[in-house]
């Protein structure tokens, strides 16, 4: 497979973003999807990408985080695949932070979303081995929950409080179509 422009809200292809995805039973299929997700995310520069965003209605997403000068405490999670993920628990503590999405107006719109600070997740890895991870970094948890929402037919705009829509932030120079 190759780099795929993420499907967009408001387009016929984007309708998939509002449908729950199917579980993956074939590990070879999962590996192909993960490789395409990685290639696409690497090209468009993001922290996570889910299969529905590239037109595949399967329960798989990837996360790619690295510490930066701005956030040296960010966990080093490089190209981690979550196949058939299931959120087992979420933290009672939460935070509000601006989220964007490669599938929402080509990554140009950002809005405030409240998310739990941590979570427990069960998933398969690329070898078909089941794992249960506890995530205690708020941004890492946010990325996982954002991508997992895609598998359940939701986008971050649906997680926003209606009163916060007037505060949506537009960054036209981040348009992924300009890559």
Q: What number of helices (H) and strands (E) belong to the chain?
A: 2, 8
Out of 39, 147, 163, 171, the active site residue is 147
Neighbours of 71 (CB within 10 A): 12
User: Are 111 and 157 in contact, with CB atoms under 8 Å apart?
Assistant: yes
What is the number of alpha carbons within 13 Å of residue 85 lying toward its C-beta? Answer: 26
89 counts as catalytic: no
Give the DSSP letter of residue 58: B
Residue recorded with tokens 């794992």: 131
Residue 31 corresponds to which tokens in the numbers above?
């590996």
| CA dist., res. 101 & res. 20, Å (int) | 18
Would you name the residues annotated as active-site residues? 147
């Amino acid at each position: 497979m190759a780099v795929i422009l993420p499907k967009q809200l408001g387009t016929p292809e984007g309708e998939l973003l509002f449908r729950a995805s199917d579980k993956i039973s074939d590990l070879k299929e999962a590996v192909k999807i993960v490789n395409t997700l990685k290639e696409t995310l690497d090209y468009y520069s993001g922290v996570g990408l889910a299969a529905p965003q590239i037109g595949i209605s399967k329960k798989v997403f990837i996360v790619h985080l690295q510490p930066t000068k701005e956030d040296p405490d960010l966990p080093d999670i490089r190209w981690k695949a979550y196949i058939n993920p299931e959120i087992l628990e979420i933290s009672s503590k939460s935070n509000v932070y601006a989220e964007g999405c490669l599938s929402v107006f080509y990554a140009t719109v950002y809005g405030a979303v409240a998310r739990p600070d941590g979570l427990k997740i069960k998933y398969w890895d690329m070898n078909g081995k089941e794992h249960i991870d506890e995530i205690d970094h708020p941004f890492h948890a946010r990325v996982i929950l954002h991508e997992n929402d895609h598998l359940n037919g939701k986008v971050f705009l649906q997680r926003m409080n209606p009163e916060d829509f007037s505060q949506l932030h537009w960054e036209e120079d981040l348009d992924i179509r300009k890559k």
